[in-house]
Structures are given as C-alpha cells and as structure tokens.
Amino acid sequence: MGPEVFVEVVRSALGLVAILVSASILPSLCVGLMVSVFQAATSINEQTLSFLPRLLITVLGLMWGAHWGLTKLMEFFFELVHSIPSVIA
C-alpha cells in the first residue's frame, strides 16, 4: 500500500467534484453571457436583470441534475467502500 493509492483516490474525487460543479455552473455561465450581451446592446444597467436569470437557471439545473449527481456520488462511494480490503491488504 503506497501513497499512489491515496493520490488516485484524491484525483478521482477532485475529478468528480469538477464534473458535478461544472454541470450546475456552465448553464449559469451561458445565461449570464447572453444577459450581458443583451445589456450591452440595449444599455440597460440593471443588476437584477443580470442576477435573477442566472439564479433561476442554476436552481433549475440543480433540480434537473440532482438525481444524476447523487447517483455519481453514490457510485464513487461504493467504489471506495469496495476497495477498502484491497487497500488495507
């Protein structure tokens, strides 16, 4: 049992976190970009026009992707639990 096992676990965990975070942040980023272009084209400088659509898209993205994200987390956890005997031995 060397340190490479733990490095691999941390690498997998960080990769999973990056995927889960990007699944909720990327739609918000796209909507924010579209709203910013709209604001620049119309010269409207209203803060709520920028904030509210991003908030709604983020919440909707989390609602739609919650089952998938939880499934991914459970799969990762089960892999960790099943690998405990091989790591200890």
Q: What is the pLDDT along the chain (89 residues), one digit of tens a residue?
A: 678 888 988 999 999 999 999 988 999 999 999 998 998 898 888 878 888 999 999 999 999 999 999 999 999 999 999 988 887 77
Do 63 and 37 meet the contact criterion of CB atoms below 8 Å apart? no
How many domains would you assign to the chain? 1
Q: pTM for the full model? A: 0.77
- For residue 48, give its domain range: 20-88
SS3 assignment, position 78: helix
Q: For residue 3, is it within any domain?
A: no
Q: For residue 28, is it within any domain?
A: yes
Q: For residue 14, is it within any domain?
A: no
